[in-house]
Structure 1
């Protein structure tokens, strides 16, 4: 097993230099990613909001990112991706830093919403930069390494955040802001802007990268021409609703079971989550590298059904640590394969806009998650949320199966048509 683990890291050899820099940048940024990790606990335990109200504010924070994401997508395809990323994240970091001086003021909730809006401008820029720097041949390994770097940082961040929340709450905000600014220095000094030149676009047009070739039409026509991609993203947003319950239902469930210990226990579960990601991302990527992305995402849905569904009956702590391995495996597989699938089907001249529109669709599922679950849980035990979570995951799995069958039928029909044309020419 140890040899398999070591050998699995060889897949990260020979990647573009900038990918390694971005992996380090994400590590540094994630070490200080305190605020959103403990936002629910801050709203309920420090400010005193009820579960449904806290869920509503978290939803506002998530939805605040939608306008910025859409606007940024159009800007990223026309101007410097690097400049947009730096300006967005620096402004967001400064707002979070200022929250550290406000104690337990309700004003913090509004500033976090503003910070989310500003940060969202960087999302299409970041995704487009990764697509620019990679090819279909090294994309899965690159996404995997970036994901690994982020979670390695989170492993340290969660351990610190649980301690800071209970003892030095202001440092949740100061630490988040400072590490964000520090991570941006790596981008400033070591990464050039990646927006493709005319020559690079022509090179892709003349290659076999069919899904990435230049699209002359507008963003809406380009998306309509890719119905399988749109369907995949919608289903993925449903899975986003499922996955994000680990950050909403789980801390509430733990707090109900273990009064006044929920925050620390949730931090320890999430530390286990990130350790599993660090240890098993290379192995799982190696084992699933030859499996189609849509099938891999289906496997992830199954792990969510089992992992989250089992928590319905949990009244002790050990099931949380057992099931974290199950649903974290799904998280690893889904995150990497989703990013690869989208990049492989995004036109080179629409990368910013595609990532913004796709991000909007995905955001809808994630952003609605806290509010919908908060309303569902009113007057109910938190454990009831796992029943709904598993049911939604089952629906997503069925939809993925239908999509896979339809996609295979379409490809088979297209291949037959091509074969007939070649016979006619002959």
Structure 2
């Protein structure tokens, strides 16, 4: 696929299975958007839980997800991505239904278990299913467009939920959580219907070492370690700050209103939805690691702008906060197509679930560590140190991207491999291919 490919050409070149999988993403995530911004409000103001308990319940989702991600990757490889995704999506449906009627902490915790199972297991399974219906440059394009549709669905859902939900009328929250549950019927119907024959399951080669599929062996691959570290740092300084460090800094240091912070998230969604496909056209055919370098530059600039808002709090800071979010979102459009594509192009077919699970685990660890760091530093008033560490983290992403570039074949990095090499999926050692037999 050339860099001049249009959206229509992408759709025409996509397999029927890929079209089915992609066409329902926005509908499914619209349900998620109905509840995502309002879960803590629901638990605290509607069900009467303390803020500490509500926050702990939200964190519990991430803990459960982290625990089940490894087993989810193994199951994906052993029984197929479709079956695991079907089970995980059903857990989301059950969890949202329970949460809609959770009047006690115990019921809420039970709901969070089901939500955590979905979050932890669906990631490696869904990425493996995408890899099963796409190849090459099409795979990178797919991951990027999928990301844009996810943001579109969540953004629209958030607007609808914000208009409809009312803390003075508890039943409105019951309705939006049931709406989230009902939206899961779309992917469930898809997996039981048009995609029932796409298993995402691959048999190991006859000569494969039985022990080569363990997570320990996979993590002995230097390229896997590099991509895992890259993912962790990118999430730690990126997504790990969006819902915790960024709002706290903007509110307490930049002294901007909550309305400005809310509008900044609308800008985030708009930039991703409007520019993702353009970015995909521009980065097609370029080294994915170099795309990550461009992302680093954008994120360093964005955090410099955010840091400057602390020097001019008030109306000028508000402009800085909005600018920060626009630059950050543009960087996201470069990150989301590249890391999943590298992971899935690097993984042997029969181990793709586990490779995705390793990457998902790094993402979840960064999403847990990022807010903890932000809370610790900002609570002590170390705003300058906060911005400096995030900027240094962005620079570290650039270093890791260049390290990964030396460890993966050119084809995995998104460009033609002029000197094909065979790579051991466990050790990462490569040797020139011999002549065909």
Q: Quick check: TM above 0.5?
A: yes
What is the root-mean-square deviation of aligned Cα atoms in Å? 3.8
Which residue number corresponds to residue 269 of structure 1?
Answer: 264
Q: Post-superposition shift, 1:266?
A: 4.1
Match of 1:250 among 246, 251, 256: 246
Which residue number corresponds to residue 374 of structure 1?
Answer: 375
Which residue number corresponds to residue 150 of structure 2?
Answer: 150
* Alignment check: 8 A CA contact 2:81 2:125 kept: yes
* Alignment check: 8 A CA contact 1:304 1:393 kept: yes
Residues of 1 paired with 2:40 and 2:290: CA distance? Answer: 33
Which residue number corresponds to residue 49 of structure 1?
Answer: 51
* Alignment check: 8 A CA contact 1:30 1:153 kept: yes
1:336-377 residue CA offsets vs partner (Å, 9 max, x unmatched) = 111110110000111112222232233211222223322333
Which residue number corresponds to residue 284 of structure 2?
Answer: 289
Cα distance 1:196–1:269, how it changes in 2: closer, same or farther (>3 A)? closer
Q: Post-superposition shift, 1:5?
A: 11
Q: What secondary structure does 2:13 align onto? A: coil
> Within the alignment, does 1:227 sit opposite 2:222 as a pair?
yes
> Within the alignment, does 1:36 sit opposite 2:36 as a pair?
yes
Q: What secondary structure does 2:397 align onto? A: helix
Cα distance 1:368–1:61, how it changes in 2: closer, same or farther (>3 A)? farther
Residues of 2 paired with 1:273 and 1:300: CA distance? Answer: 15
Cα distance 1:22–1:408, how it changes in 2: closer, same or farther (>3 A)? closer
Q: What secondary structure does 2:193 align onto? A: helix
Aligned residues: 403
Which residue number corresponds to residue 94 of structure 1?
Answer: 94
| Structure 1 length-normalised TM | 0.80
> Within the alignment, does 1:173 sit opposite 2:177 as a pair?
yes
Which residue number corresponds to residue 64 of structure 2?
Answer: 64
Q: What secondary structure does 1:138 align onto? A: helix
Q: Post-superposition shift, 1:129?
A: 0.9
Higher relative contact order (CA 8 A, sep 6+): 1
Q: Post-superposition shift, 1:25?
A: 2.1
Cα distance 1:343–1:370, how it changes in 2: closer, same or farther (>3 A)? same
1:104-146 residue CA offsets vs partner (Å, 9 max, x unmatched) = x545762453133320222222111111111124211222232
Q: Is there any run of 5+ residues in structure 2 with no aligned partner, and where?
A: 411-416, 422-429
Cα distance 1:196–1:160, how it changes in 2: closer, same or farther (>3 A)? closer
Which residues in structure 2 correspond to 1:21-420 (within 5 Å)? 21-34=20-33, 35-39=35-39, 47-49=49-51, 58-102=58-102, 106-107=105-106, 110-111=109-110, 113-119=112-118, 120-164=120-164, 167=167, 168-195=172-199, 217-220=212-215, 223-224=218-219, 226-244=221-239, 245-253=241-249, 256=252, 262=258, 265-314=260-309, 315=313, 316=315, 317-380=318-381, 385-404=386-405
Residues of 2 paired with 1:164 and 1:259: CA distance? Answer: 29
After alignment, is 234-243 or 395-404 more displaced? 395-404
Higher helix share: 1
Residues of 2 paired with 1:250 and 1:171: CA distance? Answer: 30
Q: Is there any run of 5+ residues in structure 1 with no aligned partner, and where?
A: 206-212
Residues of 2 paired with 1:137 and 1:215: CA distance? Answer: 30
Cα distance 1:268–1:382, how it changes in 2: closer, same or farther (>3 A)? farther
Residues of 2 paired with 1:162 and 1:388: CA distance? Answer: 34
Which residue number corresponds to residue 208 of structure 1?
Answer: none
Cα distance 1:80–1:300, how it changes in 2: closer, same or farther (>3 A)? same
After alignment, is 215-224 or 394-403 more displaced? 215-224
